[in-house]
Structure 1
């Protein structure tokens, strides 16, 4: 006679089998093979926990309503791109570069623009002071967008400049990522400061289920953008916070972040503004027209579309740089940043130098880099000697042996610095700089912004920055790496498996 225990055991076996069968059917669908295999492995080894984790963070998509808004934004971006003047930008470019620009515009919707100038800023505190000084020159509006925005001793001058701007009648619109900023100790003080000065501010990708605002918890807006009056813009890797991020463990370890930001002038600033305007619309439903915040909510994309024809001022010539701003993230159908990186690496003919704080490549990027070396192209990779995020740092380390055997030169930027800059150069005239890491999180889960540049003088300045890294960094050799203890190898490989869970 069957007992109650027998029925329970049978039910658990059936449920376990059903979970595994359904996982095989649904998990790999429309998912990168490595991510699908990682999720299947998690579900098969730890079925109940694996299923709960998959239901919570298994979908990289934005909620349906946000995807509908993103469709409107994509239409707006394509309308901006329609203003592109090919005779000014494409005439003297190599064919591969123009085809890459076309791909970027197809997926991200922003044009290549001539007549720009860019200044590289690498000193942390000086960069924040430069931003504050630019805000002090604002006459119409300031758009502030940071993954992490926090008022502290380092950033107080920037917040003071925003307050002075508002006192002059300047419109100040501010966005900060909810999850990233709320974890910092001065989060409440930051919100209070923005309220007290009278700034218009909103959270990006807020996790507020009681207010109907919820999506996969680890989808984040990782962009860092500052635009003043549409004439000067800043973008790069720097978050608006103290250099140690005001985190106790960072302070205890003496960690200091090393960044790179570009100060941009010229018509290209308008496309940075387009990214800000689209994110503001996505979060608030409000359209910003020529820097003036509209009070009423807008339900359709018609007003966004009307912005496009007047957004870019082609007369704002400031230099010789060709630039194309490329937004990416879960709102787009394709991984815009990854495709840009792959296109650049495959096109390189003489030299590739990559700087990335979190380098966890997918197979396509790994193959592109190793193939470049096989084609006889030197590839230098700058990464931090130590990490601030253990899981990501160990996942990154798991690729070192493969890269070293392929012939990649890996330079370890010394402790106590975290080399947080995100950029790379190919040959002598083309570069990329922005907020995007070279890891699967930045390719699929984070909203990022990258800037493609064609200009020999700008690339020469970036090479100078890379040379500064090289002077203080240590070249990692295969012989040294193979002496790593077994426990480190095991930990690295386990972290590598988790990095594919998307």
Structure 2
């Protein structure tokens, strides 16, 4: 045995890793993810296994899961006393009722009537409204964002928070430790010196081992001002061109009414998970009727027992009878979502997928292109929006349901990121969203099956290889 060469031992180690991965990975990962990881380990065992140990399983520290369960219990308990705010469709047989029940069971929040909803799809306008609301705050400002940059908009938000804190307003800010690293580096110290409580979520570096899988991120984007005004959508705290060559187009909901209490509770949940401190989510103005829209917050993330966003998106697609429009910058669906789209189109539903012609992630773009031909053959319409990087994330079903928030139609959003969306059960909101969607189509290229099928073979190969990594993106 002592005469055996190092190459022999390396060969033996390679095969031991492959066999161990085959026995272990499928028991800890979904089938699609397991296939991707086994393929990687099969080709490069000495690299694949360490990567799987670090990134292969979306685990969270036990403390975080306990705190999420505690937050969910508090939300459900306190909603029990708000029965007068619960919204119910005219018929319990209504398919809208099914969606609302599902969203409540997986995400804790019940549908509430009496909300006013504005759709802000102009980048500068939505930031201006947020800054104006912070400047008008008299009691409390809570911001929760994935990304904040050291640029003009980051500076404007930091200055508004400092002015609010100077007036005696209690300001709390949660920023993702990785996505908002430039903003944390630039603004955390001066904001704290001004009295703003700034915390980093899901800290990276060496701290990740005791908190979670290192690439899990809090991707939510929301603000709550004085408990009566809320913002939720796709827009970060950064200039529109923070990615060079890809100026963003976004969509943000500015809400007033009882649903703002839910946004406040979601912020309080994340604050509890990060700090261990339980915030009081009061009633006050947030409980008063501000409009006629029925709405419901949908949170999602690895701390929940189910893939909330994925399950509700599939339910919405399945319940469409006439038309469903989906807008997303990243489209790398799992098998269940892909099947729902295919079945809806084959059943005669007008399914429109609006994507961005430009993309700041080449591997993701190649992977999503691998789905186009299959969807086009089923009758799904695909439009590529050209003027900007379409970063907006929303879905509308028939004439009565809209979902707007931070949720991408990809496996990362469904399984790995903490996300948030607002479900609106209102024909007026859907009509306004349809107008925004029509604006996209005026500046979009419709994909044609015959022309797309004629693309070069090397592109097909690139797409297929990229698609194999769908669960790793």
Higher alpha-carbon deviation: 263-272 or 384-393: 384-393
Measure how far apart 1:150 and its partner are. 2.3
Q: Work out the number of aligned pairs and report it.
A: 472
What residue ranges of structure 2 are gaps of 5+ in the alignment? none
1:461 to 432, 439, 446: 432
Q: Secondary structure at the match of 1:154?
A: helix
Q: Secondary structure at the match of 1:59?
A: coil
1:370 to 342, 345, 351: 342
Change in Cα spacing, 1:312 to 1:341, as seen in structure 2 (3 Å) is: farther
Measure how far apart 1:160 and its partner are. 2.1
Measure how far apart 1:188 and its partner are. 2.0
Partners of 2:140 and 2:285 lie apart in 1 by 16
Residue equivalent to 1:226: 223
Higher alpha-carbon deviation: 391-400 or 167-176: 391-400
Measure how far apart 1:439 and its partner are. 0.1
Q: Secondary structure at the match of 1:221?
A: coil
Q: Secondary structure at the match of 1:17?
A: helix
Higher alpha-carbon deviation: 98-107 or 431-440: 98-107
Measure how far apart 1:78 and its partner are. 2.6
2:415 to 438, 444, 467: 444
Residue equivalent to 1:115: 114
Q: Secondary structure at the match of 1:27?
A: helix
Measure how far apart 1:30 and its partner are. 4.6
Partners of 1:213 and 1:320 lie apart in 2 by 45
Residue equivalent to 2:52: 54
Q: Secondary structure at the match of 2:303?
A: coil
Matched, 1:403 2:375: yes
Partners of 1:86 and 1:220 lie apart in 2 by 36
1:205 to 202, 207, 224: 202
Higher alpha-carbon deviation: 266-275 or 37-46: 37-46
Q: Secondary structure at the match of 2:352?
A: strand
1:243 to 237, 240, 244: 240
Is this contact kept in 1: 2:227–2:286, CA < 8 A?
no
Residue equivalent to 1:40: 38
Change in Cα spacing, 1:190 to 1:485, as seen in structure 2 (3 Å) is: farther
Measure how far apart 1:19 and its partner are. 1.9
1:412 to 384, 399, 410: 384
Partners of 1:80 and 1:432 lie apart in 2 by 24
Residue equivalent to 2:249: 258
Q: Deviations over 1:98-120 (max 9, x none)?
A: 22222222211111111001000
Residue equivalent to 1:302: none
Residue equivalent to 2:356: 384
Change in Cα spacing, 1:481 to 1:91, as seen in structure 2 (3 Å) is: closer
Residue equivalent to 1:281: 272
Task: Give the TM-score normalised by structure 2.
Answer: 0.95
Change in Cα spacing, 1:443 to 1:88, as seen in structure 2 (3 Å) is: closer
Task: Give the TM-score normalised by structure 1.
Answer: 0.90
Change in Cα spacing, 1:214 to 1:121, as seen in structure 2 (3 Å) is: same
Q: Deviations over 1:32-58 (max 9, x none)?
A: 211111111111111111101100101
Change in Cα spacing, 1:493 to 1:430, as seen in structure 2 (3 Å) is: same
Is this contact kept in 2: 1:207–1:213, CA < 8 A?
no
Q: Secondary structure at the match of 2:424?
A: strand
Residue equivalent to 1:175: 174
Measure how far apart 1:157 and its partner are. 2.8
Q: Deviations over 1:178-223 (max 9, x none)?
A: 11122x4x55222233234321010010114269754222100000
Partners of 1:217 and 1:227 lie apart in 2 by 28
Is this contact kept in 2: 1:270–1:312, CA < 8 A?
no
Is this contact kept in 1: 2:158–2:187, CA < 8 A?
no
Residue equivalent to 1:473: 444
Measure how far apart 1:474 and its partner are. 1.2
Is this contact kept in 2: 1:129–1:157, CA < 8 A?
no
Higher alpha-carbon deviation: 480-489 or 82-91: 82-91
Is this contact kept in 2: 1:141–1:229, CA < 8 A?
yes
Pairing of 1:286-305 with structure 2 (within 5 A): 286-290=277-281
Q: Deviations over 1:126-146 (max 9, x none)?
A: 111110001111111000111
Is this contact kept in 1: 2:60–2:211, CA < 8 A?
no
Measure how far apart 1:447 and its partner are. 0.2
Partners of 1:80 and 1:356 lie apart in 2 by 34
Partners of 1:438 and 1:174 lie apart in 2 by 27
Pairing of 1:419-434 with structure 2 (within 5 A): 419-434=390-405
Is this contact kept in 1: 2:103–2:109, CA < 8 A?
yes
2:74 to 46, 71, 76: 76
1:24 to 11, 22, 25: 22
Partners of 2:86 and 2:76 lie apart in 1 by 19
Residue equivalent to 2:458: 487
Is this contact kept in 2: 1:77–1:108, CA < 8 A?
no
Taking only aligned residues, the RMSD between alpha carbons, in angstroms, comes to 1.9
Measure how far apart 1:380 and its partner are. 0.8
